[in-house]
Amino acid sequence: MEDDAKKLEEGRLHNKDDLISEKVNTTSDHNGRGDAIDHDHEDHEETNKAAVATAPLVADQIKGEEQPVLVVKQKSKRVATLDAFRGLTIVVMILVDDAGGSYARIDHSPWNGCTLADFVMPFFLFIVGVAIALALKKIPKINDAIKKIILRTLKLMFWGIILQGGYSHAPDDLAYGVDMKQIRWFGILQRIALVYFVVALIETLTTKLRPTALEPGHLSIFTAYKWQWIGGFVAFLIYMITTFSLYVPDWSFVVDNDHVSKKYLVKCGMRGHLGPACNAVGYVDRQVWGINHLYTQPVWRRLKACTLSSPSDGPLREGAPSWCTGPFEPEGLLSSISAILSGTIGIHYGHVLIHFKGHSERLKQWVSMGFVLIVIAIILHFTDAIPINKQLYSFSYVCFTAGAAGLVFSGFYLLIDVWGYRTPFLFLEWIGMNAMLVFVMAAQGIFAAFVNGWYYKSPDNSLVHWIQKHVFINVWHSKRLGTLLYVIFGEILFWGVVAGILHKFRIYWKL
């Protein structure tokens, strides 16, 4: 019986009604603390149920030897911070997508710099990395895991092409369909799919190559997962070498206005340029995807060189450079290779969560790394060595946004999982548990497009338009403020409630 008890993990009981548990010897962390909050499930699964192993409780003793008491084994508790962080990212995406046009300061930076909108993509990739570490920490069959990774990657790419390839015209345009000569091959979900595929594949294939317990020392967490960091370093080398050594020749494009085609020529003939017109990131996408398959409304149109309305969108200024009307893919191939680093840093935070059981040790690892990354980014940016740039997904941008993600994640962990202030963040958790659903229905406007499809006499006379105009804009006598309030209450709060109801009924959209 004693041998059987030693095979059970120690479970922490949180409720008074929990059964008596017997303390057994377990492997502890470096501080000898046992307040682990781990989970070994898929990132969208709800696993807050306890598995109880019971044995008879006998009050008397036989021959002076105590009988074994009831032993309870409790399943790992889900880290609420993961869902809250993912929910926050979705909320910020909805805010900047639908209110950024009214408040340019929160919209994507036209080129160098970092605004609120520029944190969305790296925050997504960061939390994808964290979730991969937790979901794949126990892999019974590597081949099955690889098949699952490939299938999920294909699903993400499929939905990315449908939602952002040009087929969907939601929410305002009720038409659908895309000319295959103009389809956009890469986008948000495709970038997430690429990063997920690479990071998850390395994690899976190196399962048997890493130790189950960390060696003493501050760098042991890095050496134990050296293959993940080697993969990130290879991505870094590919990006940096290509960016600064690839020769970018002149290029041209055609713009159709009112059935009149006009051809523009952009003069380049250089290497290592980090400006809008002649960078290697754009050149790679023009060669790989074709210039007709790139995003046609790049944010560089809001630069002072292009419009007098900068940083807001506006008509092109007289004598604007030819590249101002050119296409550019913000989620391109080369920049997505750089984005693998965001996932690599995220998976490191997940590894810390697994191996360090004490709250203080986890926070020390996370916060220190976050500050180091931000310092590196600031030095690179303000020395003009490598400016922070989301469109290029520059190395300084990776460091700055990953560092910020680490600090926000640490703050959420401290508030929610350590101090227990969970209630104020429940709506973020609900959204995070159904992130794909809210992304498609709210951020991509599919639900609003469905409602707009039921109109009276004119497509502009639908329920969505009526609510925007009469409940928000007219009441506050301001289109900017009315738009912001509509996004907060008509979209974010609405979908927070919907996600909460779906969570109540255990309904989740998982890929």
Say whether pLDDT at 1 is over 50: no
% pLDDT > 70, the chain:
85
State the pLDDT confidence band at 48, using cuts at 50, 70 and 90: very low
Does 466 map to a domain?
A: yes
Average pLDDT rounded to a whole number, residues 331-347:
97
Q: What is the pTM of this model?
A: 0.84
Does 334 map to a domain?
A: no
Does 186 map to a domain?
A: no
- Ranges 27-31, 85-89, 157-161, 237-241: which has the least confidence: 27-31
Amino acid 269: pLDDT = 93
H-helix or E-strand containing 271?
Answer: strand 270-271
**Cβ contact 311:105 at 8 Å:** yes
Average pLDDT rounded to a whole number, residues 152-171:
93
Cis ω for the linkage preceding 459 (within 30 of 0): no
Amino acid 77: pLDDT = 64
H-helix or E-strand containing 347?
Answer: helix 333-355
**Cβ contact 427:91 at 8 Å:** no
H-helix or E-strand containing 52?
Answer: none
Amino acid 174: pLDDT = 87
Q: Which amino acid is at 473?
A: I
Structure tokens at 91: 């909320």
- Ranges 22-36, 37-51, 444-458: which has the least confidence: 22-36
Does 140 map to a domain?
A: no
**Cβ contact 330:338 at 8 Å:** no
Residue ranges in 188-332 assigned as alpha helix (H): 188-205, 220-224, 226-245, 280-288
Amino acid 185: pLDDT = 94
> Helices 333-355 and 188-205: crossing angle, nearest 10°?
50
CA distance 277 to 390: 15
CA distance 459 to 475: 22
Does 2 map to a domain?
A: no
CA distance 257 to 283: 24
Say whether pLDDT at 42 is over 50: no
Average pLDDT rounded to a whole number, residues 117-146:
92
**Structural domains in the chain (count):** 1
Nearest to 270 by CA among 290, 285, 251: 251
CA distance 66 to 75: 27
What residue numbers bound the domain in which 428 lies?
78-107+422-510
CA distance 509 to 350: 23
Region for residue 258 given its phi and psi (left: phi exceeds 0; alpha: psi -120 to 50; beta: otherwise): left
How many secondary structure helices (H) and strands (E) does the chain include? 18, 6
Q: Which amino acid is at 380?
A: L
Structure tokens at 414: 């401290």
- Ranges 73-82, 147-156, 185-194, 297-306: which has the least confidence: 73-82
Does 99 map to a domain?
A: yes
% pLDDT > 90, the chain:
70
Q: Which of the 8 DSSP states describes residue 261?
A: E
Does 450 map to a domain?
A: yes
111 Cβ neighbours under 8 A, 6+ residues apart:
275, 276, 299, 300, 303, 389, 391
Between 414 and 24, where is the model more confident? Answer: 414
Average pLDDT rounded to a whole number, residues 470-479:
91
Amino acid 466: pLDDT = 93
pLDDT digits (tens, 9 = 90+) for 72-90: 444 456 789 999 999 999 9
Nearest to 339 by CA among 219, 209, 186: 186
Amino acid 70: pLDDT = 41
Amino acid 219: pLDDT = 84
Amino acid 205: pLDDT = 93
Say whether pLDDT at 484 is over 90: yes
pLDDT digits (tens, 9 = 90+) for 204-261: 999 887 777 777 777 889 999 999 999 999 999 999 999 999 999 999 999 887 778 8
DSSP strands (E only) in 101-219: none
Amino acid 28: pLDDT = 34
Mean pLDDT computed over every residue of the chain: 85
pLDDT digits (tens, 9 = 90+) for 369-385: 999 999 999 999 999 99
Say whether pLDDT at 433 is over 50: yes
Say whether pLDDT at 69 is over 60: no
Q: Which of the 8 DSSP states describes residue 324?
A: G
As beta bridge partners, residue 62 has: 65
Does 124 map to a domain?
A: no
